């Protein structure tokens, strides 16, 4: 089996509805510019609250994808 190298980047997704939708937003955008996404790992979740109500859900993800050279 040939060796492979994967690059890991951090993404932040937001949603007004849920953390799941925030994660989906980040991954949906990432797949437009990154190929061969492999693993996503939740690093942090938070929510912006105003007047006692959740306003914006935010999720920070580490995402790995196959490295093909370059920067």
Rounding to the nearest 10 degrees, give the CA dihedral for residues 23, 25, 12, 29. Answer: 130
CATH topology of domain 6-66: Dodecin subunit-like (3.30.1660)
Query: Domain locations in the chain?
Result: 6-66
Pairing of strands 6-15, 53-66: antiparallel
What is the residue-level pLDDT of the chain in tens, covering all 71 positions?
A: 578 888 999 999 999 999 999 999 999 999 999 888 889 999 999 999 989 888 999 999 999 998 877 65
Q: What is the pTM of this model?
A: 0.79
Q: How far is the C-alpha of 69 from the C-alpha of 71, rounded, in Å?
A: 7
């Amino acid at each position: 089996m040939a060796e492979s190298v994967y690059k890991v980047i951090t993404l932040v997704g937001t949603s007004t509805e849920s953390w799941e939708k925030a994660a989906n937003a980040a991954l949906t955008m990432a797949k437009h510019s990154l190929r061969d996404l492999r693993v996503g790992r939740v690093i942090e979740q938070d929510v912006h609250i105003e007047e006692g109500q959740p306003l914006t859900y935010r999720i920070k993800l580490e995402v790995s994808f196959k490295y093909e050279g370059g920067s």
